[in-house]
Structures are given as C-alpha cells and as structure tokens.
C-alpha cells in the first residue's frame, strides 16, 4: 500500500477544497478502505511541523526533563492523538447511523490536518518571534484557531453528512480529547 506523490497531492488538494467550503473536495480523496489507511500518512507529513510547534510550546517549560523522556512521552502522545478521535468516531458514526460515511470522514479528517498545519505553523512562528505586539499576535493565533475549528466543523458536517449542530458537538469532542491527551502528556513531563 505505498503512497505516491500523486496520492498526497490529490488528497491535500481535496482537503484544500474543503477548506474553501467546497464539498466536492471529497471527490479528490481516496475514500476506499485502503485510502483510509493511507490517510494516516498525513501524520508523517505533519510530524516535523508538529515537532517545531512542540518545541515552541515547551521552550523553557521543562528544562530539567531528560530529552529521552520528553521524546518518548510526546511521541506516544502524538500517536494517541492521531488515533483516539478516529477510534471514538468509529463508534459515534454508528450511533449517528453514518457508518457508511466513516471512511469519508476519516480520509477528510486526516488530510485536513495537513492544510491546518500549513496555516497554523507560520502564524505561531510569527507570534513566537515577537515581531507583532502581544495583543495582535494573540488575536491572530486565536483567529486562526477559530478558522481551523470552523474548517473541522465543515469537514465533519460534509464527510458524515450530518447537521451543523451534530458536527459542532463532534468538534468539541475532538477538542476535548486533544486537550486531555496534551494535559496528560504534559503531566508526565
């Protein structure tokens, strides 16, 4: 099941189209069972950017933590963060009577993280440099985070073909799980 550059380009383009609130972005994703497994390659693509974000977030906060412990804890948290919500959603999609759309959701959800990281990382780096005054940096980061949550909402609503309210609840569930995983990992450091 090798992933080709063409697969990546098509998938990221589909995620980009979804970011433009174009539901036809789904058509660019390989929404087969094999495509669902391949969508987890997005985690590999995003990993370097995530590592940089982690370094920015933890800079100076864990000076006494051994590097090996930091790497192991955060690597495990990264894997869990990529699998926890999809596992939960497998059950939730059945409760919503949308199991037939689960693979669509999984592919769109995973590949959308590449687009999100491509937008979020430059903003965080800009904010971390101190070039912009604090309130402007904070406002910019907050605005981008709201835009990403709106994007996730559209992806869930479109891929699962559910109501806006149901999609909003799922976005909050995803946010809660992410915060829980991050807090737990930080607690181990």
Cα–chain center distance at 39: 12
Predicted pLDDT at 187: 81
Please report which confidence band the pLDDT of residue 26 belongs to, taking 50, 70 and 90 as the band edges. Answer: very high
Residue-wise pLDDT tens digits, 51-87: 999 888 887 677 777 888 888 999 999 999 999 999 9
Q: Which structural domain range is residue 28 located in?
A: 5-188
Domain count along the chain: 1
- In whole numbers, what is the pLDDT of the chain averaged over residues? 93
CA torsion through residues 9, 11, 16, 20, sign: positive
Residue-wise pLDDT tens digits, 145-169: 999 999 999 999 999 999 999 999 9
Give the three-class secondary structure for 3.
coil
Exposed, middle or buried by CB within 10 Å (0-12, 13-18, 19+), for 85? buried
Any idea of the CA torsion for 11, 27, 162, 43, to the nearest 10 degrees? Answer: -10
Q: Could you give the percent of the chain with pLDDT greater than 90?
A: 75
Phi and psi at residue 161, to the nearest 5°:
55, 60
């Amino acid at each position: 099941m090798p992933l080709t550059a063409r697969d990546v380009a098509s998938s990221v383009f589909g995620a980009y189209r979804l970011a433009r609130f174009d539901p036809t972005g789904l058509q660019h994703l390989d929404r087969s069972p094999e495509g669902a497994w391949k969508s987890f390659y997005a985690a590999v693509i995003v990993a370097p950017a995530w590592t940089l974000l982690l370094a920015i977030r933890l800079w100076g906060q864990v000076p006494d933590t051994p590097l090996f412990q930091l790497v192991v804890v955060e690597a495990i948290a990264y894997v869990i963060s990529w699998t926890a919500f999809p596992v939960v959603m497998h059950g939730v999609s059945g409760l919503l009577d949308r199991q037939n759309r689960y693979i669509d959701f999984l592919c769109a959800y995973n590949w959308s993280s590449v687009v999100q990281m491509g937008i979020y990382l430059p903003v965080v780096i800009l904010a971390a440099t101190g070039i912009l005054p604090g309130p402007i940096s904070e406002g910019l980061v907050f605005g981008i985070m709201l835009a990403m949550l709106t994007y996730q909402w559209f992806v869930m609503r479109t891929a699962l073909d559910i109501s806006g309210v149901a999609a909003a609840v799922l976005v909050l569930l995803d946010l809660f799980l992410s915060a829980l995983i991050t807090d737990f990992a930080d607690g181990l450091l």
